[in-house]
Amino acid sequence: MTLPAAPPPSVAAAIRGALLTADPLAKARATRAVARDWRLGRLAAEFDVAMPDRPARPAEPELLPPGRMPKRGRGQSERGRIALWHALAHIEFVAIDLALDMAGRFGAAMGRGFVSDFLAVAADEAMHFVVVARKLRALGSRYGALPAHDGLWESAAATRHDVAARLAVVPMVLEARGLDVTPATLERVRASGDSGGARILARILDDEIRHVRIGVKHFVAAADRCGEPPAELWKSLVSRHFRGSVKPPFNDSARESAGLSRDFYAAVAMPQRAG
């Protein structure tokens, strides 16, 4: 005899479960499972539970305000390399939660395509974290061994009520910043003779261009829906919700291929403070 099939779990409950997983590798696995289950139609497009205010994280790394982070130094000493890969591991770890939260918090209003896009981003971030954490272990360290800064999640908390503001700040400022700085890091790593590390960074850079493009696409759609010119809306949201500065040098070609034209960021980068 066959039992009646249980209804599929909701996508929101599955996302919430991954957000509330503290162990980093377990969070990465849970995230990839949510993305796969969604893609295969095993999750209901229901948003019946709320996303947590703060996702679960391991006891380490210790989180410090950005201004209190120890100086990393630019050298290719063993310590400098570990500090670099540790900082990258932390960025990827938080990026998993940022993408999951985007899909779970705003998916009901934004629709299936939005959920699919950001769960695919979350799966990429989970893969990035796993690869970077493995690199860190190969260097004799581990994620959690050093302090990390707490600026990334703050941007999410500040924009939790407005999907346009979240898109303006997370993919279009923070991830776009990654496009600006990664090529120089990649060159330094390659110049030090670490071709494996350079390959990891090249792969991440490729994926991040796609992530920014996804953010731009949904931001422009949101702006169109409320009848606002996207670049104008972006500038006003960034000035209201992002406390850091959007500063050059910009990687114009990577930004361009992500669909982020200079119309958006040129004026913000050089704010003209009228009296």
Which residue number has the CB closest to Fe ion?
211
- Interaction of residue 211 with Fe ion, rule CB under 5 A: yes
Least separation in angstroms between CB 193 and Fe ion? 24
For 40, half-sphere exposure in the C-beta direction (CA atoms, 13 angstrom radius) is: 8
CA torsion angle 48 54 59 65 (round to 10): 160
What phi and psi values does residue 144 have, to the nearest 5 degrees? 115, -15
- Interaction of residue 101 with Fe ion, rule CB under 5 A: no
Site string (5-44) toward Fe ion, x via CB under 5 A = ----------------------------------------
DSSP 12-77: HHHHHHHHT--SHHHHHHHHHHHHHHHHTT-SBS---SPPPSS----S-SPEE-GGGSPP--S--S
Least separation in angstroms between CB 3 and Fe ion? 41
Single residue of 57, 90, 105, 128 touching Fe ion by CB under 5 A = 128
Q: What distance in Å separates the CA atoms of residue 17 and residue 92, rounded to the nearest whole number?
A: 19
User: Binding segment for Fe ion among 91-99, 217-225, 227-235, 237-245 (CB under 5 A)?
Assistant: 91-99
Give 79 or 210: the residue with its C-beta nearer to Fe ion.
210
- Interaction of residue 57 with Fe ion, rule CB under 5 A: no
The site for Fe ion (CB under 5 A) is made up of 92, 95, 125, 128, 175, 208, 211
